[in-house]
Amino acid sequence: MKWLTSRNVFPLAVITLIISLCLQCAWIRQLYLAQKQDIKTKLESIVSNASKQIVYRSVSRGRERSSRFKQFFLSSEWFALRQAFDGLKLDNLHSQFHYGIDNDSTVVEMRMSFLNDPKKHFKISSSAKTDNMSPRQVSSDDQKDLKSLDSLVNRQLQQFDIRIHRNYALYDYSSGNLIKPVPVAKNKLSFVSECYTYNLKFLHRYQLVVGNIFWVVIFQMRYYLISSFMMLVLTAAAFYLLIRLMKNQQLYAQAKIAFTSNMTHELQTPISTISVALESIKKYHLIDQPEKLENYLNISVHELQRLQAMIEKVLKQEQMDLGETKLQFSLIDVQPILQQVIHAMEVQVQEKNAFITFLPTAEPLFIKGDAMHISNVFYNLIDNALKYSPVHAKIEVSCSIADRQLTISFKDNGPGINEIYQQQVFERFFRIFNQDNIHNVKGSGLGLHYVKQVIALHDGHVELYSKDGKGCTFMVILPLYEEN
């Protein structure tokens, strides 16, 4: 899959994320509409059920009734019939309702009459006969039943865990006129139920009104919303990690190729020097000229040693990566080791016309460590500072103590390391390529990786502070030795 490079994967990931975001939005919208409808249906059934219950309670109040009586007044057919009867409001239609209960039987009458001549008008459109009851008693019964209905609606809402701000409107039963409006503008209402009677005195009809059910629906959908948000976040995180991994692998592959060509070049130089020397000895019979022979042999030995050192370095790194390196820990004073390394590098320093300052502390700085590896770390860091800085480089090595930690800093005024590479320079084989993609300075890309590993084995860490063009400061932080 040649097209699957990190350059193509990024737009692919973005497109996939946008598409899944759109799909999620469409799905959530559908779900929102369905849930909203569901809540409306639930509200309607709560009010109708409450009305059925209250009518039954008002009819049977104070009387022990037969099961047939209960069956009739709580049946859905009776409820539907009554709703239809109450809702039938036509011009000229006079409807009258009457019920009578005695010991033997219960009589329910629904009477509708209208004149065939449409020009003549009835005054009253609908009414209920309320046997021998005074208007006052009818009104007080009505108030009582209204209260019962409203509190039953409230209870059922709580039962279904629907937390809404609700209100009710009242309509006159006969004329159908609104007599108790709600204090909310009509266009701000999310739900308006049908009108229901709540007793058989037929004074008023009840209507449940809800202002805003948006947050109720959102609350009902909370688990869907959270899971869909989590899914998006997880997908984005997976893509991010995948792209990062791919980028790292590409960098690693590039670095490996660079390392191989670098190493081949480095190995080839001593081999060709030795073969030229041996060929010259043979061609010019240098056995007869012991002075020249010795010189050529010395060059060959020196080159062979260099070759051996290089191979050893790679092998040692391999061992360290496999965790096979065993460190020889002992109590060591860091400053004399630093002094020795700086002293050993004097020739290189002079060659580059560089200048090293060492700022030691007055007291000795003891750590538990492997002297050989620690001195290699110092060597690598000073070598880098020298190699990558231009001539007349100024290098400052200093030690300090804070919080039982020892900090050794190596500061140079070289080209610095761009922020984007500051993590990667510690990776195996990683080298920064200059603009022409050719490294001017020889190296393997193993030095800082080695430094990081050795310091980690000493329970310390390395920090890098640098800005492009403004030099580098590498800080080696190690725990100080403490006598228990």
Ligand X SMILES: Nc1ncnc2c1ncn2[C@@H]1O[C@H](COP(=O)(O)OP(=O)(O)O)[C@@H](O)[C@H]1O
User: By the criterion CB under 6 A, which residues form the site for ligand X?
Assistant: 380, 384-385, 388, 412, 414-415, 417, 425, 430-432, 443-449, 472
Which CB atom, from 37 or from 319, has the smaller least distance to ligand X?
319
Smallest distance from the beta carbon of 277 to ligand X, in angstroms? Answer: 27
Cβ distance 71 to 56 under 8 Å? no
CA distance 476 to 426: 13
Q: Distance from CA of residue 158 to its chain's centroid? A: 35
Smallest distance from the beta carbon of 248 to ligand X, in angstroms? Answer: 16
Q: Which does 453 bind (CB under 5 to 8 A by kind): Mg ion, ligand X, none?
A: none
Which CB atom, from 55 or from 341, has the smaller least distance to ligand X?
341
What residue has token string 């200048």?
Answer: 355
Which CB atom, from 35 or from 384, has the smaller least distance to Mg ion?
384
What residue has token string 């400053």?
Answer: 335
Which CB atom, from 216 or from 258, has the smaller least distance to Mg ion?
258
Q: Which does 354 bind (CB under 5 to 8 A by kind): ligand X, Mg ion, none?
A: none
Residue nearest to Mg ion (CB): 447
Smallest distance from the beta carbon of 378 to Mg ion, in angstroms? Answer: 12
Q: Strands across the sheet with 106-114, in order?
A: 106-114, 93-101, 126-129
Instruction: Show the tokens assigned to 355.
Output: 């200048």
Smallest distance from the beta carbon of 434 to ligand X, in angstroms? Answer: 9
Instruction: Show the tokens assigned to 213.
Output: 């059910």
Which CB atom, from 416 or from 447, has the smaller least distance to Mg ion?
447
Cβ distance 207 to 191 under 8 Å? no
Which CB atom, from 74 or from 464, has the smaller least distance to ligand X?
464
Smallest distance from the beta carbon of 237 to ligand X, in angstroms? Answer: 30
Q: Which does 417 bind (CB under 5 to 8 A by kind): Mg ion, ligand X, none?
A: ligand X
Spatial neighbors of 405 by CB under 8 A, at least 6 apart, are 477, 478, 479, 480
Spatial neighbors of 215 by CB under 8 A, at least 6 apart, are none
Smallest distance from the beta carbon of 326 to ligand X, in angstroms? Answer: 23
Which CB atom, from 414 or from 460, has the smaller least distance to ligand X?
414
**What is the three-state SS of 131-198?**
CCCCHHHHHHHHHHHHHHHHHHHHHHHHHCCCCCCEEEEEEECCCCCEEECCCCCHHHCCEECCCECC
Q: Which does 217 bind (CB under 5 to 8 A by kind): ligand X, Mg ion, none?
A: none
Which CB atom, from 328 or from 435, has the smaller least distance to ligand X?
435
Which CB atom, from 170 or from 342, has the smaller least distance to Mg ion?
342
Smallest distance from the beta carbon of 26 to ligand X, in angstroms? Answer: 50
Strands 355-359 and 394-402: what pairing?
parallel
CA distance 124 to 92: 9
Cβ distance 72 to 54 under 8 Å? no
Smallest distance from the beta carbon of 476 to ligand X, in angstroms? Answer: 13
Smallest distance from the beta carbon of 425 to ligand X, in angstroms? Answer: 4
Smallest distance from the beta carbon of 398 to ligand X, in angstroms? Answer: 15
**CA-to-CA dists, residue 217 to 25, 27, 39, 41, angstroms:** 15, 15, 8, 13
Strands 461-466 and 394-402: what pairing?
unpaired
Q: CA 453, 456, 460, 463 torsion: positive or negative?
A: positive
CA distance 464 to 394: 18
Which CB atom, from 352 or from 368, has the smaller least distance to ligand X?
352
Cβ distance 129 to 139 under 8 Å? no
| Site residues (vs Mg ion, CB under 5 A) | 384, 447
* Amino acid identity, position 389: S
Q: Which does 36 bind (CB under 5 to 8 A by kind): ligand X, Mg ion, none?
A: none
Q: Which does 270 bind (CB under 5 to 8 A by kind): Mg ion, ligand X, none?
A: none
Smallest distance from the beta carbon of 369 to ligand X, in angstroms? Answer: 20
For the chain, the residue count is 484
Q: Which does 431 bind (CB under 5 to 8 A by kind): Mg ion, ligand X, none?
A: ligand X
Q: Which does 408 bind (CB under 5 to 8 A by kind): ligand X, Mg ion, none?
A: none
Q: Which does 425 bind (CB under 5 to 8 A by kind): ligand X, Mg ion, none?
A: ligand X
Which CB atom, from 206 or from 430, has the smaller least distance to Mg ion?
430
Q: Which does 365 bind (CB under 5 to 8 A by kind): ligand X, Mg ion, none?
A: none
Alpha carbons within 13 A on the beta-carbon side of 99: 16
CA distance 350 to 348: 5
Q: Please state, as a whole number, how many other Cβ atoms lie within 10 Å of the Cβ of residue 461.
A: 13
Q: Which does 169 bind (CB under 5 to 8 A by kind): Mg ion, ligand X, none?
A: none
